[in-house]
Amino acid sequence: MSIFKYIYLIFGISLLIFIFNKIDLPLFINELNKLGFNFLLVLLIYFFGFILDTISWRLCIQSFVPKKIKLYEIFKIRIIGEAFNYIILQVGGEPIKAFLLKKKFNIKYKTSIGSLILAKTIILLALIIFCFTGLLSIFHTNKFGHYYETVSLIGFLFFTTLICLFFIVQRYKITSKIHNIFKDKLSKKINIIFKHLKETEHKISEFYKSDRKNFFKILFLNLCNWFIGALELYVIFILLNQKITFFEAVAIETLVQLVRAVLFFIPSNLGTQEGVFVLAVNILKDSMPLGLAVAFIRRMRELIWISCGVIFGYNQKIDIKKIKQKL
């Protein structure tokens, strides 16, 4: 495993410690105490978003493999994968999901990976649309100032460019075309790897070309999920007795998601996510403890669902060494 993941993790933890040192802890605890059992409502909203995301992934899988797959089974696989994303640095959650799809439904590993790539791409395309509305909200609120508006715009354009390029590579099979040019100069082993990549790329490209109905259905589900995230944030502020408009919630969520997307290499966005919440909420509500409390609530609801993933995955006999060999 790359040592950089550990370096990024240490950086995130260090940033989190720095944030806590800058916060008035009694005020932070006081904000958390306002929530009480209302935290269950936050969990319920997050659960609903998780269900939408699971439905959209199932549609991606069934676009490749016309099998009848129970939503509950896909939900378990997804939540187990998310748990591995949090607790094991050596292997990401996506290969775990592919492994479990193979084990449970006998779906080929490369087909599973293809469905995950497709799902992730459409999630990110939906995020572009969401962030565009968030960017409008940032400018509309007129509270973030010229500096944050400019940084947000640059971040949005950079992120959008990368995702659009990623989509174009898949849609027009750019990887296959590049390989066809250089395949005679490559080793047999590398050509075998590219052969599998080309098969997956072909399936994804055909989906974009011939299954537009499902494409827009999946895109809509994911767009709804992003707005559910903003709704969750709006509800958290209400439960903490803080007035905020839904557009301001969308603006904060946009900033958080842009930073998460750009700094994806930091495990679980530890520290960076909390930092964005503290900055954004401090601008809108002039309260750093409130920002950290909101971030902490968000982190806690993630950890509770991740705990469910650990419970589901306990008896799955996941062979990490075997999965690493597949990567």
The residue behind tokens 């969401």 is: 130
Task: Residue count of the chain, please give it.
Answer: 327
| Tokens, residue 231 | 């709704």
- Contacts with 301 (C-beta within 8 Å, 6 or more apart), sequence order: 39, 42, 43, 46
| Per-residue pLDDT, 75 | 92
Q: How far is CA 173 from the centre of its chain?
A: 25
| Per-residue pLDDT, 8 | 81
| Per-residue pLDDT, 242 | 92
Contact at 8 Å (CB) between 283 and 143? Answer: yes
Could you tell me the CA-to-CA distances from 212 to 78, 209, 216, 290 in Å, in that order?
24, 7, 6, 43
CA distance 160 to 144: 21
| Per-residue pLDDT, 89 | 54
| Tokens, residue 269 | 């966005």
| Tokens, residue 250 | 């969308």
pTM score: 0.91
Helix (H) or strand (E) holding 176: helix 174-182
Helix (H) or strand (E) holding 193: helix 188-210
CA distance 205 to 220: 19
| Per-residue pLDDT, 145 | 85
| Per-residue pLDDT, 232 | 96
pLDDT in single tens digits along all 327 residues of the chain: 467 777 888 888 899 899 988 888 899 999 999 998 999 999 999 999 999 999 999 999 998 888 888 899 999 999 988 888 777 654 567 888 888 888 888 888 888 889 999 999 999 999 999 999 999 999 988 888 888 899 999 999 999 999 999 999 999 989 888 888 877 777 777 877 778 788 888 889 999 988 899 999 999 999 999 999 999 999 999 999 999 999 999 999 999 999 988 888 888 888 899 999 999 999 999 899 999 999 999 999 988 988 888 888 777 766 666 665 555
CA distance 92 to 114: 15
Domains of the chain: total: 1
* Domain, as residue range, for 78: 3-326
Give the residue from 110, 109, 30, 47 showing the smallest Cα distance to 82: 47
